[in-house]
A and B are shown apart, each in its own frame.
Chain A
Amino acid sequence: MKKKILVKGPVLSQSGYGEQSRFALRALKSREDLFDIFILPTAWGKTGWVWEESEFRQWIDEKITLTQVLIQRKQLHIDLSLQVTIPNEFEKIAPINIGYTAGIETHICSPQWLPKCNDMDKVLVVSNHSKTSLVNTVAQATNQQTGESFPYKIETPVEVVWENTPRHEPEEIKELKLTTDFNFLAVSQISPRKNFTNMVRWFVEEFIDQDVGLIVKTNLASNSIMDWEHLEKRIAALISPYSERKCKVYLLHGDLTSGQMTWLYNHDKIKSFVNIAHGEGFGLPMFEAAREGLPITTIGWSGQLDFLHNDGKDLFNKVDYTLQPIQQEAVWPGVLEKDAMWAHADQGSYKMALRKAFKGYDEMKARAEDLKGLVSDKFSDEKLYELFCDSIYKPNPDLVKWKEKLSFLEEL
């Protein structure tokens, strides 16, 4: 018996949650024998929209249209909902409600998330870090009738299902001309969490006298021309104090296809991927780079460890860090609370790690190739889709039998 599932999330947005929503859809679509899929698209901040034409996109559009028609006719009766978003936005909209969240990049989540998670029948997360930060959060609640204080935490089951992106064959970016032979790549929005400024500034300081490049694929909020104009000024201001530098910072902005991203990860002059964000839910660009065998330089904390750490071994170039409270400018009530902590990369360690990546490339590359095999196997579509669909709905034989009994027609 098929389950009617409503997927509510930013399925068309160019954002982390957009990728996560599309992963969920691809996984569910792999079992259309089990699921009747309906889609309610939401926006995600000021991010742009996906623009690539594909069969998958056409399928999403058809599902959205069908859902709208059924909603308008008041004929959409769903069995369960899958809500891809931050937990503040979870709501009960179906007999069974499942939240799918990237969680939070800090060591604990906002107390406001706890009752929202407890409204769900299940919460799915993208990494063990996301799970830990949710289940380790304990808030003090007060019984309104007795005034008694008691610890309040998530009671709803939380399961790690990860995510991935579809791989596309490399496609050249004709406009990208690299004049340096050894380049690092960073893929990151500019936000307090991403630690972007330090990532660039410390790179420039480390390679001030060397012909090494850093390619930053970035934006402030979207891939618009206005965004580009603001961004260019900001990056120029960031590196202007280092006018004598030999190293180069290449700025990549705008819409790139998945194939163009694959091309970047496999470019013969791009030798390492770098990320010193304070925390990642999962770290999709890092995952994609690891899947292509590009050596990774990053901190040993948060979501990326699920694919960078295997069998007791760290298969990446490690940057030391300390856990400290989040910066004042990152506080976002209801999401990033001021008492939460995340990782602060150590400046010296980061610079040494960059140097190590530069000097010890062959060793790094060999390790990255090992990681590539592990990632491709553990995070294959086949394995992740099966895990995801089983977490959403695995027919309970008793319930199936009971419903079959209910559906039997006879003369009464």
Chain B
Amino acid sequence: MQEKIIFLADLFKNQALGGAELHDDVVIKYFEKKEAFYEKINCHLVTTEYIEKNLDKIWFISNFANLSFTSIALLSKKAKYVIYEHDYKFIDVRNPIHFKDFLVPKRNIINYNFYRNAKKVICLSKMHRKIFQDNLNLENIVNINCSMWSDEDLSLFEKLQHSNNQKDLFAVIDSPNPLKKTKETIVYCENNSIPYELIKSKKYTEFISILSRYRGLIFRTNHPEPTPRVAIEAKMLGIKFLSQKHLISVAHEDYFDLKGLAMIECVRKMRENALKKISKWCNE
């Protein structure tokens, strides 16, 4: 009989609209559909009593920055859990860019036992997995090949194919997050005489609709992106995507030269495969 899953994360889609939360939501819906879902809980609300009471469940652990040290230790020792990794929480600064070839000195490695004792550590792409493997050298690190989108979102991308309102400009994401390097991207566009506009929206569908009107997206980042979603989104919209190849993990996946409907279809298939794999890893 399939064991029930507790989904653990710092935030969920109804609390924040980041890439990790959107991605997690697809997985949660899948578990619900499979009737494998027990409940979801924010990391900061997890107590030792809660853990002890639910040791018969499978713990599916997404972002866990707010999980207490005691909870990490207890889960590590007693629980059956899978870590669904969205960045690099094995590094004290969560960013391997500071170290040549992304090889992190041992003194900067944290949560090693938490990763080691997991049933599986699921990375989001081959490159993401390689960075984990090169640094942690564990047997339980696996990967899917892409982030995930709901059918509803994929329909939106289908509708937006060949948008008639194409502007002969590049879009630059207007973000206060320094990892997204908005300022540096503006400087890059200006130095290279690339016409651009800043775009932003708090509503996901609106943001994608805005993006679809541009010739392309210029995206600079300051860490090796495990996917990033926006790269695939640009490809699904059929617009150009300019970025740093060595920091864009999905750029190293076999399917990355697809675009438009072909990419949408590929993403749909990869999602189904990934969800099956996740289900299998949870129940191994």
Interface centre among B93, B97, B101, B216 (most CB of A within 10 A): B93
- If A75-B176, A399-B100, A402-B101 touch, whether A409 touches B242 (CB-CB below 8 Å) is yes
Asked if A407 is at the interface (CB within 8 A of a chain B CB), the reply is yes
Question: What CA separation (Å) do A95 and B93 show in the bound complex?
Answer: 6
Whether the pair B188, A406 counts as a contact (CB closer than 8 A) is: no
Contact pick for B241, options A96, A402, A408, A411, CB 8 Å: A411
What is the CA–CA distance of A121 and B93 in the complex, to the nearest angstrom? 14
Among B92, B222, B242, the residue within 8 A (CB) of A410 is B242
1/0 per position for A193-215, CB-CB distance to B under 8 A?
Answer: 00000000000000000000000
14 residue pairs A–B, Cβ–Cβ below 8 Å? A95-B93, A95-B99, A121-B107, A402-B101, A403-B97, A405-B246, A406-B246, A408-B246, A409-B242, A409-B243, A410-B244, A411-B216, A411-B240, A412-B256
Q: How far is the CA of A398 from the CA of B178 in the complex (A)?
A: 25
Residues from 387 to 412 in A contacting B, C-beta threshold 8 Å: 396, 398-399, 402-403, 405-412
Q: Within B84-128, which residues are at the interface with A (CB < 8 Å)?
A: 92-93, 95, 97-101, 107-108
The complex places the Cα of A75 from the Cα of B222 at a distance, in Å, of 13
Inter-chain contacts of B246 with A (CB < 8 A): 405-406, 408
Given the interface pairs A75-B176, A77-B178, A406-B247, the reply to whether A411 lies near B100 with Cβ below 8 Å is no
Give the contacts of B176-225 with A (CB-CB under 8 A): 176, 178-179, 188, 216, 218, 220, 222
Please give 6 more A-B residue pairs, beta carbons under 8 A apart, in addition to A73-B176, A396-B100, A409-B218: A94-B93, A406-B97, A409-B188, A409-B243, A412-B245, A412-B248
Query: Inside 8 A of B220's CB, which chain A residues have their CB?
Result: 407, 409
A408 and B95 alpha carbons, distance in the complex (Å) = 19
Q: Is B231's CB within 8 Å of the partner chain A?
A: yes
Say yes or no: is A79 at the interface (Cβ < 8 Å to chain B).
yes
Interface residues of A (CB under 8 A from B): 73, 75, 77, 79, 92, 94-96, 119, 121, 396, 398-399, 402-403, 405-412
A399 surroundings in chain B (CB, below 8 A) = 100
Check if B93 sits within 8 Å of A409, measured CB to CB: no
CA distance A94 to B98 in the complex (A): 10
Q: Cβ of B176 and Cβ of A407 under 8 Å apart? A: no
Chain B, 230-278, CB within 8 A of any chain A CB:
231, 240-248, 251, 256
Closest Cβ neighbor of B231 among chain A residues: A412
Contacts of B99 in A (CB 8 A): 95
In Å, the complex CA distance between A403 and B188 comes to 16
Shortest Cβ distance from residue A211 to the other chain B in the assembled complex, whole angstroms: 62
Q: How far is the CA of A73 from the CA of B176 in the complex (A)?
A: 9
Name the interface residues of B155-194: CB closer than 8 Å to any CB of A. Answer: 176, 178-179, 188
Output the nearest chain B residue to A118 by Cβ-Cβ distance: B107
The residue on B at minimum CB distance from A401 is B100
Q: How far is the CB of A155 from chain B (nearest CB, A)?
A: 10
Contact of A95 among B108, B242, B244, B247 (CB under 8 A): B108
B178 touches A75 (CB 8 A): yes
Q: Let me know if B95 and A95 touch, CB within 8 A.
A: yes
Q: Could you tell me the distance between the alpha carbons of A75 and B176 in the complex, rounded to whole angstroms?
A: 8
